[in-house]
């Protein structure tokens, strides 16, 4: 089949080769390992090399599915676009109208813009692809209902052309990337509140593995990444192709293998019935869908996302040590109490004091007040000024909690504007945490929230907003007819964040949602940190942070030292386990320090000092995770970009499998460099089952290759203990 001249973009070890069958939108010929510097002849032979021939009982000519995966063009999996115009135009087939390639050259990636039209269906499609410098492939599509359809696309059309002029209702518009037959396993993340982002693996068999989110927010069980790979792929090995949907509303990610053998990863926004209806001339644009490839396992996939995220706000100052008041005092706010907490925090080295939920009118508990964004005159008779001054005098920044998208029915706002709540069917949505969702697509509601937040940020010197969101969006209908509104609400939230950031560019924003339920690249385009989970039990956190790292670098992941006894699980842990876990994140404290002993506060200060000392390494290095031989023992670390310094944590999650611990590998070092390996105080004295392992007493000098291949003997740690290990180039 004649193809247009193939296009080859390269970046950071990744190649993307596209070609278009005559008149069609482009197809992906290859997305994966770098093919090197190919000339036109080799590229065209590559297209021939992968082309199939017709087989018995199938189409009479070869089918090359375009990026739009049109059913009409022979794609028998999920089409890229599903929808209809009053029952017509349901099977579009786009003809290429323009192809614009910007190859940045020198392995720096580039962009491809392809537009197509189906005049019979009255639809135009614009596909944008970018291979970023760090080797991420991202794509989005814009669908336009062109003015009128010139003909109806189905046999059901009558002479009156029933679909003509009617809106085109989009059911789904998704992006896909092909994966080769060697990718036989899938991995994605699931989870629940307090245990977000738990991995699950399954074989990639014929059929679809589809992850559909109807929570109206990203969710604890969002896939984060959906990866397909070679058998047994792990953190440090295997070929992996992965996908992430950069969207904070309803979304879908799927892996589909057809009986033809073709396989794709796909994803996009999940639209509710009738949610997007395009009148002639109207358009819909999908979220960006990111795809990453690696031939060295999941760490290399993570590294691409980390580099990308680090590039988006490089001017941000180092991530400060936070003290958050939530688990310290909950709703029990009082100037004297918080002043003492701030004083003890400053003594420990805290740099940012964050006043959590409970500071605004009527908010003495979680059943009232959301929406009334005025400082409570009873709790704070002189406003927040006195507390903020104290915090500043102690040398810390001040941060404030808000939950702008939510309303308690028991609030002045809900009483004044009952019609400002999202609802449908003539009923109130099921209450959740006693709250409902404010319809931010209503200009009055949007203006009120923008005005209140703007007023607070203008009146007070606030460096940071912790932006919370504590319920799923059910029955999220926009009045007066209760039409589905998660799509529009998500855009309104993004607009609100963008507008506030442009008015207050120095204010940082944390994305929190019942803990870690809004973690995605859509929200991270406009926020600076996520709260990874409401569970700060370090044992749970080891897993949550390990897998949140699949997308986010440590400095974007809020990680706090809680009280000795976890408020969410009831488990009790040593301070070294709590702090050594929080160290590998955006470090903070969420503990009522007035109840801590002087010894505990002194030890905490030592951990804060270590965090500050190692912050450039922790927040600028490469995250590494080992494929441990024993699931009870996890190894992870951060290696400096020049690989001359690294910090590892050897984490005993559970009782070990073997009586004598095995060796653990320290990955990511320069194989040609010799390192001094030693334990790192204050993470050097975990509770042991037996004698200290010899090397932990006075260190070792070993090459990077030996440390990666042989490793070191793990100490016999008691369960729920960790040891910090430093490797520094000689
Ligand atoms: C949920 C958050 O995850 C917590 O950290 C805390 O801010 C509460 N909301 C406050 O209501």
Q: What is the pLDDT of residues 672-700, one digit of tens each?
A: 999 999 999 999 999 999 899 999 999 99
564 phi/psi in degrees, rounded to 5: -55, -40
Annotated catalytic, 468? yes
Say which of 468, 520, 537, 574 is annotated catalytic: 468
Q: Which of ligand 1's atoms lies nearest the C-alpha of 401?
A: 7
**What is the percentage of the chain residues whose pLDDT exceeds 70?**
97
Question: Is 155 or 284 the better-scoring residue by pLDDT?
Answer: 284
Please give the C-alpha separations between residue 41 and each of 15, 22, 48, 235, 681, in angstroms, as whole numbers: 17, 18, 11, 37, 59
Which H/E stretch holds residue 431? none
Q: What is the pLDDT of residues 167-182, one digit of tens each?
A: 999 999 999 999 999 9
Q: What is the pLDDT of residues 249-268, one digit of tens each?
A: 999 999 999 999 999 999 99
CA 369 / ligand 1 centre spacing (Å) = 15
Q: Give residue 226's pLDDT.
A: 98
CA 527 / ligand 1 centre spacing (Å) = 17
Q: Is residue 638's pLDDT more than 90?
A: yes
DSSP 286: P
Angle between helices 385-393 and 335-348 (to 10 degrees): 20
CA 14 / ligand 1 centre spacing (Å) = 40
**Which of 369, 470, 588 for mutating ligand 1's site (highest number of atoms within 8 Å of CB)?**
470
Does the C-beta of 324 come closer than 6 Å to ligand 1? no
Q: Which of ligand 1's atoms lies nearest the C-alpha of 512?
A: 3
CA 179 / ligand 1 centre spacing (Å) = 40
Q: Give residue 5's pLDDT.
A: 85
CA 468 / ligand 1 centre spacing (Å) = 7
Please enumerate, as own/partner, the contacts of 187-192 that have beta carbons within 8 Å and a separation of 24 or more.
187/226, 187/227, 187/229, 187/233, 187/298, 188/223, 188/224, 188/225, 188/226, 188/227, 188/253, 189/221, 189/222, 189/223, 189/224, 189/225, 189/547, 189/550, 190/221, 190/223, 191/220, 191/221, 192/220, 192/221
Lowest mean pLDDT, pick from 333-347, 536-550, 623-637: 623-637
Q: Are 214 and 278 in contact (CB under 8 A)?
A: no
Break the chain into its structural domains and give their ranges: 3-312, 367-385+397-531, 623-729
Does the C-beta of 356 come closer than 6 Å to ligand 1? yes
CA 401 / ligand 1 centre spacing (Å) = 8
Q: Is residue 151's pLDDT more than 60?
A: no
Q: Is residue 158's pLDDT more than 60?
A: no
Q: Which of ligand 1's atoms lies nearest the C-alpha of 590?
A: 5
CA 70 / ligand 1 centre spacing (Å) = 44
**Which of 512, 517, 541, 557 for mutating ligand 1's site (highest number of atoms within 8 Å of CB)?**
512
Q: Give residue 219's pLDDT.
A: 97
Q: What is the pLDDT of residues 407-421, one digit of tens each?
A: 999 999 999 999 999
Strand order from edge to edge, sheet including 7-11? 7-11, 14-20, 26-33
Does the C-beta of 468 come closer than 6 Å to ligand 1? yes
Does the C-beta of 357 come closer than 6 Å to ligand 1? yes
Q: Give residue 1's pLDDT.
A: 46
Per-residue confidence at 609, pLDDT binned at 50, 70, 90?
very high
Q: Which of ligand 1's atoms lies nearest the C-alpha of 515?
A: 3
Q: Which of ligand 1's atoms lies nearest the C-alpha of 513?
A: 3
Annotated catalytic, 366? no
Cα–Cα distance measured from residue 239 to residue 199, given in angstroms and rounded to the nearest whole number: 18
Does the C-beta of 558 come closer than 6 Å to ligand 1? no
Q: What is the pLDDT of residues 421-443, one digit of tens each?
A: 999 999 999 999 999 999 999 99
CA 516 / ligand 1 centre spacing (Å) = 10
Does the C-beta of 512 come closer than 6 Å to ligand 1? yes
**Which of 531, 568, 589 for mutating ligand 1's site (highest number of atoms within 8 Å of CB)?**
531
Which H/E stretch holds residue 713? strand 712-713
**Residue 587, Cβ neighbours under 10 Å: how many?**
29
Does the C-beta of 514 come closer than 6 Å to ligand 1? yes
Angle between helices 538-548 and 575-582 (to 10 degrees): 10
Question: Is 155 or 79 the better-scoring residue by pLDDT?
Answer: 79
646 phi/psi in degrees, rounded to 5: -155, 150
Say which of 520, 534, 537, 574 is annotated catalytic: 534
Name the 3-class secondary structure at 48.
Answer: helix
Q: Which of ligand 1's atoms lies nearest the C-alpha of 324?
A: 5
Does the C-beta of 401 come closer than 6 Å to ligand 1? yes
Does the C-beta of 515 come closer than 6 Å to ligand 1? yes
Does the C-beta of 470 come closer than 6 Å to ligand 1? yes
Burial of 66-82, coded b for 16+ CB within 10 Å and e otherwise, reads bbbbbbebbbebbbbbb
**Which of 326, 366, 537, 589 for mutating ligand 1's site (highest number of atoms within 8 Å of CB)?**
326
Per-residue confidence at 64, pLDDT binned at 50, 70, 90?
confident
Strands 175-178, 263-269: parallel, antiparallel or unpaired by DSSP? antiparallel
Does the C-beta of 275 come closer than 6 Å to ligand 1? no
Q: Give residue 3's pLDDT.
A: 55
Query: Whose CA is closest to atom 10 on ligand 1?
Result: 357
User: Of 267, 270, 188, nearest to 225 (Cα)?
Assistant: 188
Q: Looking at 214-272, which runs of residues are DSSP E strands?
A: 226-229, 240-245, 251-257, 263-269
DSSP 334: -
CA 557 / ligand 1 centre spacing (Å) = 15
Q: Which of ligand 1's atoms lies nearest the C-alpha of 531?
A: 3
CA 513 / ligand 1 centre spacing (Å) = 8
Q: Give residue 153's pLDDT.
A: 44
Q: Indicate the class that CATH gives domain 623-729.
A: mainly beta
User: What distance separates the 2 farthest-apart alpha carbons in the chain?
Assistant: 89
Q: Is residue 556's pLDDT more than 90?
A: yes
Query: Whose CA is closest to atom 8 on ligand 1?
Result: 357
Does the C-beta of 467 come closer than 6 Å to ligand 1? no
Q: Side-chain half-sphere of 96: how many Cα atoms within 13 Å?
A: 18
Q: Is residue 150's pLDDT more than 70?
A: no
Does the C-beta of 531 come closer than 6 Å to ligand 1? yes
Show Cβ contacts of residue 325 under 8 Å, excluding neighbours closer than 6 positions: 333, 338, 341, 353, 354, 355, 356, 590
Q: Does domain 367-385+397-531 have CATH number 3.60.15.10?
A: no
Query: Whose CA is closest to atom 3 on ligand 1?
Result: 515
Considering the four listed CATH numbers 1.10.3210.10, 3.40.50.1100, 1.10.10.10, 2.70.98.60, the one that applies to the domain covering 3-312 is 2.70.98.60
Region 489-505: mean pLDDT is 98
Strands 7-11, 175-178: parallel, antiparallel or unpaired by DSSP? unpaired
The sign of the torsion formed by the CA atoms of 22, 23, 29, 34 equals positive
Region 139-161: mean pLDDT is 66
**Which of 464, 466, 533, 534 for mutating ligand 1's site (highest number of atoms within 8 Å of CB)?**
534
Per-residue confidence at 63, pLDDT binned at 50, 70, 90?
confident
CA 619 / ligand 1 centre spacing (Å) = 25
Cα–Cα distance measured from residue 530 to residue 29, given in angstroms and rounded to the nearest whole number: 37
Cis-peptide, bond into residue 480, ω within 30° of zero: yes
Does the C-beta of 327 come closer than 6 Å to ligand 1? no
Query: Whose CA is closest to atom 1 on ligand 1?
Result: 514
Q: Is residue 655's pLDDT more than 80?
A: yes
| Mean residue pLDDT across the chain | 95
Q: Is residue 162's pLDDT more than 90?
A: no
Lowest mean pLDDT, pick from 144-148, 393-397, 533-537, 723-727: 144-148
Query: Whose CA is closest to atom 11 on ligand 1?
Result: 357
**Which of 196, 333, 356 for mutating ligand 1's site (highest number of atoms within 8 Å of CB)?**
356
Per-residue confidence at 164, pLDDT binned at 50, 70, 90?
low
Q: Give residue 583's pLDDT.
A: 98
Q: Do domains 367-385+397-531 and 623-729 have the same CATH topology?
A: no
Number of H helices, E strands in the chain: 13, 40
Cα–Cα distance measured from residue 540 to residue 558, given in angstroms and rounded to the nearest whole number: 14
Q: Give residue 657's pLDDT.
A: 86
Per-residue confidence at 315, pLDDT binned at 50, 70, 90?
confident
Q: Which of ligand 1's atoms lies nearest the C-alpha of 516?
A: 3
Both structure tokens of 63:
């089918």
């Amino acid at each position: 089949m004649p193809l247009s001249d193939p296009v080859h973009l390269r970046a950071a070890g990744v190649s993307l080769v596209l070609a278009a069958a005559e008149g069609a939108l482009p197809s992906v010929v290859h997305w994966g390992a770098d093919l090197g510097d190919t000339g036109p002849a080799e590229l065209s032979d590559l297209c021939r090399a992968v082309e199939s021939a017709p087989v018995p009982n199938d189409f009479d000519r070869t089918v090359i599915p375009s990026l739009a995966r049109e059913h009409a063009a022979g794609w028998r999996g999920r089409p890229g676009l599903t929808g209809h115009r009053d029952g017509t135009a349901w099977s579009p087939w786009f003809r290429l109208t323009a192809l614009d390639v910007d190859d940045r050259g020198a392995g720096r990636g580039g962009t491809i813009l392809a537009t197509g039209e189906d005049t019979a269906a009255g639809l135009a499609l614009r596909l944008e692809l970018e291979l970023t410098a760090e080797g991420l492939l991202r794509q989005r599509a814009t669908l336009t209902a062109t003015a009128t359809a010139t003909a109806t696309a189905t046999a059901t059309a009558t002479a009156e052309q029933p679909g003509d002029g009617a809106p085109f209702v989009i059911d789904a518009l998704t992006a896909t990337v092909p994966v080769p037959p060697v990718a036989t396993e899938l991995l994605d993340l699931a989870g629940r509140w307090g245990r977000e982002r738990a991995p699950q693996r399954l074989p990639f068999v014929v059929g679809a593995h589809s992850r559909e989110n109807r929570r109206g927010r990203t969710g604890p069980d969002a896939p984060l990444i959906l990866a397909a790979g070679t058998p047994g792929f792990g953190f440090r090995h295997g070929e992996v192709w992965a996908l992430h949907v950069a969207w904070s509303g309803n979304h879908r990610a799927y892996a589909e293998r057809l009986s033809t053998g073709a396989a794709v990863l796909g994803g996009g926004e999940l639209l509710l019935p009738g949610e997007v209806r395009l009148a002639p001339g109207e358009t819909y644009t999908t979220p960006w869908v990111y795809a990453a490839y690696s031939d060295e396992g999941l760490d290399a996939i993570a590294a691409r996302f980390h580099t990308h995220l680090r590039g988006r706000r490089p001017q941000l100052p180092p991530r400060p040590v936070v003290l958050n008041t939530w688990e310290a005092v909950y709703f029990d706010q009082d100037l004297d109490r918080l002043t003492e907490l701030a004083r003890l925090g400053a003594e420990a080295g805290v740099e940012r004091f964050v006043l959590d939920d409970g500071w605004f009118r009527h908010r003495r508990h979680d059943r009232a007040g959301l929406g009334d964004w005025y400082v409570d005159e009873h709790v704070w008779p002189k406003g927040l000024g006195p507390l903020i001054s104290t915090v500043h005098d102690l040398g810390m920044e001040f941060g404030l909690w808000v939950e702008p998208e939510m309303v308690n029915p028991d609030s002045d706002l809900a009483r004044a504007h009952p019609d400002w709540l999202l609802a449908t069917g003539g009923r109130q949505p099921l209450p959740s945490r006693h709250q409902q969702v404010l319809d931010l697509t209503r200009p009055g509601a949007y203006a009120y929230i923008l005005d209140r937040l703007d007023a607070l940020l203008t009146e007070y010197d606030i460096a940071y907003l912790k932006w919370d969101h504590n319920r799923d969006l059910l029955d999220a209908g926009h009045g007066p007819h209760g039409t589905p509104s998660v799509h529009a609400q998500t855009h309104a939230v993004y607009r609100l964040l963008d507008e506030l950031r442009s008015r207050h560019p120095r204010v940082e924003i944390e994305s929190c949602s019942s803990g870690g339920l809004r973690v995605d690249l859509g929200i991270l385009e406009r926020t600076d940190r996520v709260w990874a989970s409401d569970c700060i039990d370090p044992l749970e956190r080891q897993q949550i942070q390990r897998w949140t790292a699949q997308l986010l670098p440590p400095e974007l992941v809020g990680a706090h030292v809680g009280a000795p006894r976890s408020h969410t699980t009831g488990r009790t842990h040593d301070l070294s386990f709590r702090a050594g876990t929080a160290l590998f994140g955006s470090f903070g404290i969420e503990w009522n320090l007035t109840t801590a002993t002087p010894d505990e506060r002194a030890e905490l200060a030592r951990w804060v000092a270590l965090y500050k000392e190692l912050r450039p390494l922790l927040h600028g290095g490469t995250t590494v995770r080992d494929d441990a031989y024993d699931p009870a023992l996890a190894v992870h670390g951060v290696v400096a970009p020049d690989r001359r310094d690294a910090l590892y944590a050897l984490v005993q999650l559970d009782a070990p499998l073997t009586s004598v611990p095995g060796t653990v590998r320290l990955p990511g070092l320069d194989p040609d460099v010799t390192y001094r390996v030693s334990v790192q105080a204050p993470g050097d004295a975990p509770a042991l089952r037996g004698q200290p392992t010899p090397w932990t007493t006075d260190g070792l000098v070993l090459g990077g290759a030996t440390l990666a291949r042989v490793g070191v003997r793990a100490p016999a740690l008691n369960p729920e203990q960790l040891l910090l290990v430093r490797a520094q180039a000689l």
